[in-house]
Structure 1
Amino acid sequence: MFPLKDAEMGAFTFFASALPHDVCGSNGLPLTPNSIKILGRFQILKTITHPRLCQYVDISRGKHERLVVVAEHCEQSLEDLLRERKPVSYPKVLCIAFEVLQGLQYMNKHGIVHRALSPHNILLDRKGHVKLAKFGLYHMTAYGDDVDFPIGYPSYLAPEVIAQGIFKTSDHVPSEKPLPSGPKSDVWSLGIILFELCVGRKLFQSLDISERLKFLLTLDCVDDTIIVLAEEHGCLDIIKELPENVTHLLKKCLTFHPSKRPTPDELMQDKVFSEVSPLYTPFTKPASLFSSSLRCADLTLPEDISQLCEDINSDYLAERSIEEVYYLWCLAGGDLEKELVNKEIIRSKPPICTLPNFLFEDGESFGQGRDRSSLLDDTTVTLSLCQLRNRLKDVGGEAFYPLLEDDQSNLPHSNSNNELSAAATLPLIIRERDTEYQLNRIILFDRLLKAYPYKKNQIWKEARVDIPPLMRGLTWAALLGVEGAIHAKYDAIDKDTPIPTDRQIEVDIPRCHQYDELLSSPEGHAKFRRVLKAWVVSHPDLVYWQGLDSLCAPFLYLNFNNEALAYACMSAFIPKYLYNFFLKDNSHVIQEYLTVFSQMIAFHDPELSNHLNEIGFIPDLYAIPWFLTMFTHVFPLHKIFHLWDTLLLGNSSFPFCIGVAILQQLRDRLLANGFNECILLFSDLPEIDIERCVRESINLFCWTPKSATYRQHAQPPKSASDSSGVRSSTPYFSTECPDPPKTDLSRESIPLNDLKSEVSPRISAEDLIDLCELTVTGHFKTPTKKTKSSKPKLLVVDIRNSEDFIHVASFPLKGHVVEAMNISGIPLNSDS
C-alpha cells in the first residue's frame, strides 16, 4: 500500500440484507450471511492500489449484518466545486476527466466496475488530483444483490442500467440473474458529471426520482443528447461556447446506446486528450516481495545524495503505509463504532419502538415501520489520528529508520529505548497491544523483509523475540525459506480439471475453522479449494488426507490475497515437519512418529508415562490429529499463530515437545483418571494456556538430546547451503545444526517393532560424548573429560558385572566412561 501522506482515513457503514433463518442452501447447510459474503469479496479490493483510487484498508462486521468499511479519504470533492455554481475551466475539466478515466481503466483491468460514480465520490487530494471513492461497493455486494438498496445515484445512472431495473435474487429462490453493469456505464456517469462541471450546476434537481429516470430513458429518441440536456436546464448558451474538443468528449461519453459508447480505456486513447496525456506518467505497480520482477529495476539515485532528504516529511507517521497507520490507530484505542456513533451515523432506537402491531404463530409480523437504517447512508466519517499521534509523540525520527547493520540491540533506537527494552520482557499478549512497541517492531521487520534473503539470518534472530501480527504472513514465508517466482509456479498448476479428491475437499472445507468470518466466506472456500487442489496436483507421490485443510488454514488466513504465497508456505512447511505423512500408505511413518512421542513422554515424565501405559491410553488414541495437522485441528487460529511463531524456529523434532507440554498441563487430571475418563477428556480438549505451552516446549526441547528424537522416516538432511547461497539458519532453541551430518557416531535406525519395545529413547554416541563433556585427544583419540569442575549433564549407568566394570575402570582404553556408575551388585525390584 502507498504511504498515508496528506490523506486521511474515513469510514462508512451499511447493512447487508438479512436472510431467513429457517432456510438452508442446496448443500443442506445454513445459508451464509450476506455480510460474510461481502467481507470475503472485499479482501481483493485491498490489493487494488493506484494513485487515482482511494485505498481500501479494512472491513468490520458488526451486529445485525452491519458492515463498516475503512478506506483512504480526502475532505474535498467535485461536489465542492459544484456548490460554487460556476463553470469549471475547460483545461481543468479535461484534466479531471483524464484522471477519472485513469482510475476507471485500472479498476476495469481488475474486473471492477464503479457503478456509483458521482461528484461526491470523486475526491480531490491537497494537490487537486482525483481519487475515486467507494469504487468497490458494486463488486463487494455482488452487483447489489446482497444489500437492500440500489448501487448508484439516479441522476448519474446510465440508461441501460435504468432500463434493467432493480432485480434481487437469493440463494433459496432460483432465478436467472441479469447481466452486471459493464465499464461503459461508468463512462455515461462521467459524461453527466463533466456536463455539470462545464455548466456549473447540477442536473435534474427540479425533477423527482421517477421523472429523472423517465427523462433519461427518453433520450433514446433524440439526435443530440447534449443539446437536449442543455435546453432542459437553460444552459444552451454555455454549451455552445464550449471548445470543440470538450463538446466532442461530452458527446462520446453521453452516447445513448452502450454498443456505440467507448470504454474508459478506448476513451483515454482519444485525440481529445492529446495535450493532457503527456502530463501524466503511466502508473507502474511497485514490485512486491517474492515478485518475479526485480525490485530495484527502476531505482535511480541522484548525483547529489542530499537530494534524497529533500522530500522527507517531518511527519514520519505519514510516511508509513495506510495499512500500518490503521493498525496502530486500532491499538491506540481507535473504535470504529464509537466514531460513527459520535457523528450520529449509528443511532440507537428504543426496542419497544421496533415491536410489530400484529404477529402470526409462524413468526410473520405486520405493522412495523420501515427501518430506514437498512438503506445506504453515504456519509463518510473521518477518523481522527490525534490520539495515535499523541501516543507516539515521544518516538524519535530515528525509530522510523532503524540501522539494520547495528547488532547492538534487537530493538531499534528511540528516545524511549529503555521502555522498549522493558516492554520486550512483558507477556506476548501485552506486547502485541502496545502501540509504541508494535510500531518499532513493524518498521524493523518491514525493513528486514525488504532485504530478504540477504537479511535472512537477522529475521530469524528478531523472530526469537516475537513476530508482529501485521508482518506475520511474510515473516513465516521468510522463516520457511520461500524464494523464487512463486506466482508463476502457482499459476502453472492446473487447478480446474476435476480430480478424485475434489469431493473430499468439498466435504472438508465447510468444516474447517468456520468460526472465522474470512475462512467461512464463499471467497474463502474458493481459495481453500484452489490452494489444496494445487498442492495435491503438484505432489503426485502424495495424497490428500483429512486434516490437510486444517494445515492450510493458517497460511490462507495470513495470505488471503496471495494464494501463491499460501501455497508456497504450505509446500515448504509439510516436508520440514510432516515428511511423508501424506503418503498413500503412511502407517509406518505415523507409527514411528507416535512411538518416538511415547518415548519422549517417558523421558520427560516417567510417572505420567507409566500411568498412561497402565490404563492403555496410548498416543494412537489422541495424538494423530495433533501431529497430522500440527495442532491446527485442536486449537483455534489465534492460538496457532503464537504456537507456530515458535514452531517455525525449531526443527522437525519440536512438535514432540509441544505434545509433551500439552500433556503436562493436563497432568493432574490424567493421573487422577482412568481410560474412559481420559477418552472423554480428550474428546473435548480443555482450555490450554498456549503461552505456557510455548515456554515449556522450548525448555523441553533444550533438555532433550537431539538424537533422542531420531526418526528413520524424517526428512533427509539438506546440503550446507541452499540455492540462494545463504547459509541455512539454525533453530534458536539450540546451538546444534538442525540437520547434523551423519557420522560413525550417529544413531542408527532400528526396526519399528524393536523401537516399540523400548520404553525410553536411545541416544547416539555423539550425544553421549557431548553431554558428558568429553573431548578427543591423544594418538588413540580416546574421549576424556574436558574439566573436572563442571557439573555433569548426564549420569551414565554401566550395567556390566562388577568384575568387568572394575577391570575396564582400571584400563579406560577398553571402554569406560569417566564417572560412570555400576549397579550390577544392587538388587532391583518393584520397591527400589
Structure 2
Amino acid sequence: MEQLSLSSHSLSDTLDPTVSKVRAKHQFDIDDDWDANVEHNLNQVVQKSIENKVSPEDLLRKVPSTPSTKTPASSSNPNLDLYQTSSLSSTTSKNGLKLQYEKIIKDPSNSLNAIALPQMSSPIEPDVSSRINRISKFKKMLHASNINMNDLKKLAWSGIPYEIRPMAWQLLLGYIPPNAERRVATLARKRKEYLDGVSQVFGSGLDQTMWHQISIDVPRTNPHIKLYGFYATQRAMERILYLWAIRHPASGYVQGINDLATPFFQTFLSAYIEVDPEVYDPGNLPKEVLDVVEADTYWCLTKLLDGIQDNYIHAQPGIQRQVAELKDLTQRIDNKLAKHLQEESVEFMQFSFRWMNCLLMREVSVKNTIRMWDTYMAEGPNGFSEFHVYVCAAFLVKWSSKIQQMDFQEIMMFLQALPTKEWGEKDVELLLSEAYMWQSLFKNAIAHLR
C-alpha cells in the first residue's frame, strides 16, 4: 500500500505557527457542560481463575501462566477486562504490537488466524466456554468467501468478542465488502484516499475557526483515559475530525463528534496490539499501523455520521425529532414519570439533548459504549438514530422511582451525573434488551412523529 510521508508527530504543529500556542492555551480550558460527567474506574479487572490457575485470556491465547502469576478473582465488577496487560504472549513484539500486524493491515481476516481456541480436556467455567463458542461461530462466519450479512447481524446483536470486533464493525458499517476477493483492494484504496485527503486539506491553509474548536475539544476527549492523553492520539484525532469537517460543509465540526470517533479509534487500535488500548501509547506504533488505524476510524465515523447527519446541520432537526420521540415514548411507558417531569417544569431537551448528540457517551464508559454499538450496528441503518431513542427511553425509565422523589433542581443535577460509574457489560445488555422490548411494542405508535 502506498504511504504518504505525513509525520504523525509534527504535521499539525507545522501547519500554522499559532496551532501549538492555541493548543497550549486551551489545554486546561475545560467546558464543564461538554466535559464528561462521571469518571470511570480504570482499574482493570480480569476473569476468575479456573482450577489450574490459568486465566481465560491465557487459555484463549495458549499462554501458560507462570507459577508466580495468579489471576485475581473479581465478582464485584461485572465489566470484566479481557486484555492481557502483565506478560505478553510470544505473538507480540516487546511494545505490545502483534507480530503479524502487516498481514492484518492487508486483510483484517488474517487476525482471525491468530485467535487460538484450545481443546479443553477438563471442564471450564460456563462464561469461558460460552465465549469460546461465540468466537468459533464468528470465525467460521467471517472466513467465508462471501459473508452472510444477515447472519452476522443476528450474531453481533448480543455482542462481539473484542478479537473479532474490528473486522465485524467494518463489515457491519459497509466499510469493507462481504466478498473476500474485493476486500484487500477496497481497503488499500480507501486508506490511500484518506492519506491523500489529509495531505490536501492540511496543505491548503486551515479554516482557523474550525481548527480552533477542534484543537480545544481534542484534549478534553475522555480525559480520564490514558490513551486520549497521548500526543499521537490527539494529533490523529485532529486530522480525522478536521478532514471530516472540511468534507461536510453542511454541518462542519460540531462538539460531540469528537466523542463519536473514540470507540472506532480504540477498537481499530486493538486489532494490532495485545494490550488494553485504553492504556496504550499509539506513538509506539509503526507509522503504517497508525495510518491505517486513522483511516479506518475516519471512514467508519463517516459511515456512522452519514446516518445521523441531520443531528449536526443547522438547527439540528434530527436531535429535535429524537427528543420529541423520547418524550412521547416516556409518556407511553411511564406516564407518572412524564407527568412528574412536566409538573417540575423539566423539559426533555434540557437533559436529553446530550444523550442524542453524544449517543450517551457522556453517561457510560467507552468500553460500555463499544458494547452498545455492537447492537446498534446489528440493528442496521437506523441503529444510531431510531433504536437509540428506545435505549434512551429505557435509560430514563430506569431511574423513574428516584426522579419522582426529586424537585427540578435535584432532577437536573441527578440527570447530569447519573450513577453509572460501576456499570458493566451486563448492565448495558439489560438496557439494550429493555430497549428492544419497547421498540417491539411502540415502534409503529411513534412512526407518525417522523
| TM-score, normalised with respect to structure 1 | 0.36
Say whether the 8 Å CA contact 2:222–2:228 is kept in structure 1.
Answer: yes
State the one-letter code of the partner of 1:691.
E
Cα drift, residue 699 of structure 1? 0.9
State the one-letter code of the partner of 1:632.
M
1:315-361 superposed Cα distances (whole Å, 9 cap, x missing partner): xxxx9755x35xx8xxxxxxxxxxxxxxxxxxxxxxxxxxxxxxxxx
Q: Residues 587 and 534 from structure 1, CA distance in 2 versus in 1: closer, same or farther, beyond 3 angstroms? A: closer
1:215-266 superposed Cα distances (whole Å, 9 cap, x missing partner): xxxxxxxxxxxxxxxxxxxxxxxxxxxxxxxxxxxxxxxxxxxxxxxxxxxx
Say whether the 8 Å CA contact 1:657–1:698 is kept in structure 2.
Answer: yes
In structure 2, what is the equivalent of residue 556 of structure 1? 265
Cα drift, residue 289 of structure 1? 3.6
In structure 2, what is the equivalent of residue 596 of structure 1? 325
Unaligned runs of 5+ in 1: 1-24, 31-66, 75-132, 140-283, 296-318, 329-388, 396-415, 424-430, 713-832
State the one-letter code of the partner of 1:393.
M
In structure 1, what is the equivalent of residue 411 of structure 2? 678
State the one-letter code of the partner of 1:630.
L
Measured in 2, the distance between the counterparts of 1:530 and 1:453 equals 33
Asked whether 1:630 is paired with 2:368, we answer: no
Asked whether 1:70 is paired with 2:88, we answer: yes
2:299 to 568, 572, 588: 568
**Equivalent residues in 2 for 1:388-787 (5 A)?**
392-394=119-121, 423=126, 431=127, 434=128, 436-451=129-144, 454-483=147-176, 484=186, 485-494=189-198, 495-497=201-203, 498-500=206-208, 501-560=210-269, 561=290, 562-576=293-307, 578-583=308-313, 585-650=314-379, 651=382, 652-687=385-420, 689-706=427-444, 708-710=446-448, 712=450
SS at structure 2 position matched to 1:613: helix
Cα drift, residue 635 of structure 1? 1.4
State the one-letter code of the partner of 2:196.
A
Cα drift, residue 468 of structure 1? 0.8
Measured in 1, the distance between the counterparts of 2:415 and 2:91 equals 51
Measured in 1, the distance between the counterparts of 2:136 and 2:207 equals 44
Say whether the 8 Å CA contact 2:326–2:389 is kept in structure 1.
Answer: yes
Measured in 2, the distance between the counterparts of 1:684 and 1:556 equals 26
Percent of residue pairs identical:
20
Cα drift, residue 619 of structure 1? 1.2
In structure 2, what is the equivalent of residue 776 of structure 1? none
Say whether the 8 Å CA contact 2:26–2:216 is kept in structure 1.
Answer: no
State the one-letter code of the partner of 1:507.
I
State the one-letter code of the partner of 2:322.
Y
2:106 to 288, 309, 312: 288
1:414-469 superposed Cα distances (whole Å, 9 cap, x missing partner): xx9xx99xx5xxxxxxx4xx1x4333322432342343753222211221343112
**Equivalent residues in 2 for 1:347-366 (5 A)?**
none
1:749-782 superposed Cα distances (whole Å, 9 cap, x missing partner): xxxxxxxxxxxxxxxxxxxxxxxxxxxxxxxxxx
1:474-514 superposed Cα distances (whole Å, 9 cap, x missing partner): 21222222234421332231352422311111111111112
1:48-89 superposed Cα distances (whole Å, 9 cap, x missing partner): xxxxxxxxxxxxxxxxxxx96736389xxxxxxxxxxxxxxx
Say whether the 8 Å CA contact 2:346–2:408 is kept in structure 1.
Answer: yes
Measured in 1, the distance between the counterparts of 2:364 and 2:91 equals 39
Unaligned runs of 5+ in 2: 1-22, 29-84, 177-185, 270-289
Say whether the 8 Å CA contact 1:670–1:678 is kept in structure 2.
Answer: yes
State the one-letter code of the partner of 2:121.
D
State the one-letter code of the partner of 2:410.
E
Q: Residues 604 and 452 from structure 1, CA distance in 2 versus in 1: closer, same or farther, beyond 3 angstroms? A: farther
Cα drift, residue 26 of structure 1? 4.9
State the one-letter code of the partner of 1:640.
T
Measured in 1, the distance between the counterparts of 2:27 and 2:104 equals 42
Measured in 1, the distance between the counterparts of 2:366 and 2:216 equals 20
Measured in 2, the distance between the counterparts of 1:603 and 1:441 equals 36
Cα drift, residue 286 of structure 1? 7.2
In structure 1, what is the equivalent of residue 48 of structure 2? none
Say whether the 8 Å CA contact 1:452–1:478 is kept in structure 2.
Answer: no
SS at structure 1 position matched to 2:90: strand
**Equivalent residues in 2 for 1:219-238 (5 A)?**
none
- How well do the aligned residues superpose, as a CA RMSD in angstroms? 3.3
Cα drift, residue 551 of structure 1? 0.9
State the one-letter code of the partner of 2:395.
I
Cα drift, residue 552 of structure 1? 0.9
Richer in strand (by share): 1
State the one-letter code of the partner of 1:667.
S
- Aligned positions, number: 321
Cα drift, residue 622 of structure 1? 0.6
Say whether the 8 Å CA contact 1:289–1:450 is kept in structure 2.
Answer: no
In structure 1, what is the equivalent of residue 9 of structure 2? none
Measured in 2, the distance between the counterparts of 1:478 and 1:452 equals 13
Measured in 1, the distance between the counterparts of 2:411 and 2:304 equals 31
State the one-letter code of the partner of 1:661.
A
Measured in 2, the distance between the counterparts of 1:698 and 1:665 equals 14
Measured in 1, the distance between the counterparts of 2:194 and 2:108 equals 12
Larger Rg: 1
Measured in 2, the distance between the counterparts of 1:458 and 1:665 equals 31
SS at structure 1 position matched to 2:163: helix
Q: Residues 644 and 553 from structure 1, CA distance in 2 versus in 1: closer, same or farther, beyond 3 angstroms? A: same
Q: Residues 393 and 593 from structure 1, CA distance in 2 versus in 1: closer, same or farther, beyond 3 angstroms? A: closer
Q: Residues 557 and 711 from structure 1, CA distance in 2 versus in 1: closer, same or farther, beyond 3 angstroms? A: farther
State the one-letter code of the partner of 1:653.
E
Cα drift, residue 537 of structure 1? 2.1
| TM-score, normalised with respect to structure 2 | 0.63
Say whether the 8 Å CA contact 1:487–1:564 is kept in structure 2.
Answer: yes
Q: Residues 287 and 658 from structure 1, CA distance in 2 versus in 1: closer, same or farther, beyond 3 angstroms? A: closer
State the one-letter code of the partner of 2:389.
F
Measured in 1, the distance between the counterparts of 2:91 and 2:174 equals 38
Q: Residues 589 and 466 from structure 1, CA distance in 2 versus in 1: closer, same or farther, beyond 3 angstroms? A: closer
Say whether the 8 Å CA contact 1:597–1:656 is kept in structure 2.
Answer: yes
Cα drift, residue 587 of structure 1? 4.0
Measured in 2, the distance between the counterparts of 1:449 and 1:514 equals 35
Measured in 1, the distance between the counterparts of 2:164 and 2:104 equals 18
Say whether the 8 Å CA contact 2:221–2:258 is kept in structure 1.
Answer: yes
Q: Residues 393 and 686 from structure 1, CA distance in 2 versus in 1: closer, same or farther, beyond 3 angstroms? A: closer
SS at structure 1 position matched to 2:309: coil
Cα drift, residue 667 of structure 1? 0.3
In structure 2, what is the equivalent of residue 303 of structure 1? none
Cα drift, residue 545 of structure 1? 0.9
Considering Cα pairs closer than 8 Å and 6+ residues apart, tell me whether 1 or 2 has the greater RCO. Answer: 2
Cα drift, residue 600 of structure 1? 1.3
Say whether the 8 Å CA contact 2:27–2:216 is kept in structure 1.
Answer: no
Q: Residues 466 and 587 from structure 1, CA distance in 2 versus in 1: closer, same or farther, beyond 3 angstroms? A: closer
**Equivalent residues in 2 for 1:16-165 (5 A)?**
26-27=24-25, 70=88, 72=90
Measured in 2, the distance between the counterparts of 1:678 and 1:286 equals 48
State the one-letter code of the partner of 1:611.
H
Measured in 2, the distance between the counterparts of 1:630 and 1:28 equals 25
